[in-house]
Structure 1
Amino acid sequence: MVAKLELANVADALVLKALCMEAFTPDFEQYGGFPPGVEDIDWHLAQITTGHYYKIYYNDELAGGILTVPTTDVETEIKLFYITGDFQDKQLGSKVIALIEQCYPMTKQWSLVTPYKSYRNHHFYEKQGYVKVGELQPEPNDEFRLFQYEKCC
């Protein structure tokens, strides 16, 4: 299996939006919503223009995307990471984490958030060396929470 990352360009926005929506459909069904912005093509276009939105390939097939946000010279947040169902359970996620870390060699601390009931995500990120450091409740009157994870290098 060959995993590859490639920076997205504006011509990729529609297909990335479609893949993202497909990948997050189980979250929509569980929580009643998608991650903020992902339903909007303009959001994807804006993220692409940051120069930190990557297409994920599995053996030359487009399998998903990963969006990073460098917050300081040594800190980077994984803002969005998705792999469509057809490409899950193939060790692709682990390869992508290794590849994205190589793209940011100066990063000493990685961070991300993931939904509180996304047990597979929790297990996956912990296997990658991430540690749960907190919880956020975006809407005070809603039980939905996000778990905060960090990884130090």
Structure 2
Amino acid sequence: MKGMKMTIENSVTLAIAKKEELPKFKKDLQASFAVAVVETFGSTLDGPIPSDEDIEASFNESGAVIYHILSNGEKVGGAVVTINELTQHNALSFFFICVNAHGKGMGTQAWKAIEERHPKTKVWETHTPYFEKRNIHFYVNKCGFHIVEYFNKHHIDTHSPHDHNLPEDEDFFRFEKTMKEP
């Protein structure tokens, strides 16, 4: 079939991460987050981004679910969500696609898979630093979130003490996505 373009669809699925896989999960997450820090600030900062403590706190949060994101069975990223079974106001603590898998639509497919896995969700919430333009584009334009709050030195997030080790780390956006009733 000369001259005919063929598109190979990536099959993106989710798998629960096992406890023994969490150290590698954490390193992959930090490697993915470091790319934007280096692109924005020109060098890496002291210690990993996000900190080991922040990631481990998300792992141990009540209602936490840790997913590997798989493309055709291969690990290409991960997500940590917190599910509140009572209110169904759920949170996306961390979401990443490994650097070598960026730009292939896997993030959007993975987010859709997370939504499908948690159909009772009324509202999703997440945060991202002000300089993470790719994240802002992804959450707003691809996933349907809305920016609902901007945290900075004049408006501090009193619910989540950020120790992200970033320059001007108080500058974060809070996003929400209200889900449609089934």
Common topology (TM > 0.5) = yes
Q: What secondary structure sits across from 1:135 in the alignment?
A: strand
Stretches of 4+ aligned residues off by more than 6 angstroms: none
Structure 2 CA distance, aligned partners of 1:87 and 1:47? Answer: 27
Tell me whether 115-124 or 24-33 shows the greater mean CA deviation. Answer: 24-33
In 1: Cα distance, 2:149 partner to 2:61 partner: 29
Pick closer, same or farther for the CA change 1:135–1:45 going to 2, 3 Å.
closer
- TM-score, with normalisation over the residues of structure 1? 0.84
Correspondences of 1:55-74 after superposition (within 5 Å): 55-71=68-84, 72-74=86-88
Correspondence list, 1:80-99, <5 A: 80-99=94-113
Offset at residue 51 of structure 1 (A) = 5.0
> Kindly, what percent of the aligned residue pairs are identical?
24
Q: Deviations over 1:56-80 (max 9, x none)?
A: 1111111111001124532111000
Unaligned runs of 5+ in 1: none
2:11 alignment partner in structure 1: 2
Q: Partner letter of residue 111 of structure 2?
A: I
Specify which structure has the higher proportion of strand.
1
Please say if residues 58 and 93 of structure 2, whose CA atoms lie closer than 8 Å, have aligned partners that are also in contact: no
Counterpart in the other structure of 2:25:
16
Deviation at 1:45, TM superposition (A): 9.3
User: TM-score normalised to the size of structure 2?
Assistant: 0.72
Report the RMSD for the aligned CA atoms in angstroms: 2.6
Partner of 2:3 in structure 1? none
Q: Does 1:135 align with 2:150?
A: yes
For residue 27 of structure 1, report the CA deviation from its aligned partner. Answer: 3.8
